Chains A and B, each alone.
Chain A
Amino acid sequence: MHIPDGFLDPVTIAITYTAFIAYLVVALTRIKVNREKIALVPVLAAGIFAAQMLNWPIPGGTSLHFVGGALAGILLGPFLGFLTLFLVLFIQCLVFHDGGITALGANVLNMAVIDVLVGYGIYKLVTSTLGDNRKSRLIGAFLGGWMGITLAGIACGLEIGFSPSFPYGVLITVPVMGVWHLILGVVEGVITALVVDYLYPRLPQLLLMQQSLSEGSQE
Chain B
Amino acid sequence: MIGRKALLVIILLVLISPLFGIVLADMVGYHEPLDVAAEKLGLKEASIEWTPFSDYSIPGLPSTIGYIIAGLIGVGILLGIGYLLVKAMAEKK
Q: Considering the chains assembled together, what is the distance between the CA atoms of A83 and B81 in angstroms? A: 12
Smallest CB-CB separation from A28: which chain B residue? B89
Q: B61 — which chain A residues lie within 8 A by C-beta?
A: none
Helix, strand, loop or mixed for chain B's interface? helix
Q: Does B60 contact A (CB under 8 A)?
A: no
Q: B10 — which chain A residues lie within 8 A by C-beta?
A: 43, 46-47, 50
Question: Is B40 touching A57 in the complex (CB atoms < 8 A)?
Answer: no
Q: Does B63 contact A (CB under 8 A)?
A: no
Question: Is B32 touching A45 in the complex (CB atoms < 8 A)?
Answer: no
Contact of B74 among A35, A83, A92, A203 (CB under 8 A): A92
Q: Considering the chains assembled together, what is the distance between the CA atoms of A92 and B78 in angstroms? A: 10
Q: A181 — which chain B residues lie within 8 A by C-beta?
A: 33
Q: How far is the CB of B90 from chain A (nearest CB, A)?
A: 6
Q: Does A132 contact B (CB under 8 A)?
A: no
Contact of B49 among A47, A97, A157 (CB under 8 A): A97
Q: A6 — which chain B residues lie within 8 A by C-beta?
A: 43-46
**Range of interface residues on B (Cβ < 8 Å):** 35 or more
Question: Is B38 touching A160 in the complex (CB atoms < 8 A)?
Answer: yes
Q: Does A130 contact B (CB under 8 A)?
A: no
Question: Is B30 touching A160 in the complex (CB atoms < 8 A)?
Answer: no
Contact of B43 among A39, A57, A160 (CB under 8 A): A160
**B1-35 with Cβ < 8 A to chain A:** 2-3, 6-7, 9-10, 13-14, 16-17, 20-21, 24-25, 27-35
Q: B79 — which chain A residues lie within 8 A by C-beta?
A: 42-43, 45-46
Q: Considering the chains assembled together, what is the distance between the CA atoms of A153 and B10 in angstroms? A: 26
**Range of interface residues on A (Cβ < 8 Å):** 35 or more
Residues on A facing B (Cβ under 8 Å): 1-7, 31, 33, 35, 38-39, 41-43, 45-47, 49-51, 53-65, 83, 87-88, 91-92, 94-98, 100-102, 153, 156-157, 160-161, 166, 169, 172-173, 176-177, 180-181, 184, 202-203
Residues on B facing A (Cβ under 8 Å): 2-3, 6-7, 9-10, 13-14, 16-17, 20-21, 24-25, 27-38, 40-41, 43-51, 53-56, 67, 70-71, 73-75, 77-79, 81-83, 85-86, 89-90, 92-93
Using A53-B14, A53-B21, A62-B31 as known contacts, list a sample of 19 further A-B pairs with CB atoms less than 8 Å apart, ordered by residue number in A.
Answer: A1-B32, A1-B33, A2-B34, A5-B45, A35-B90, A41-B86, A46-B82, A47-B10, A49-B78, A54-B17, A83-B85, A87-B78, A87-B82, A94-B51, A95-B74, A97-B50, A98-B55, A98-B56, A172-B37
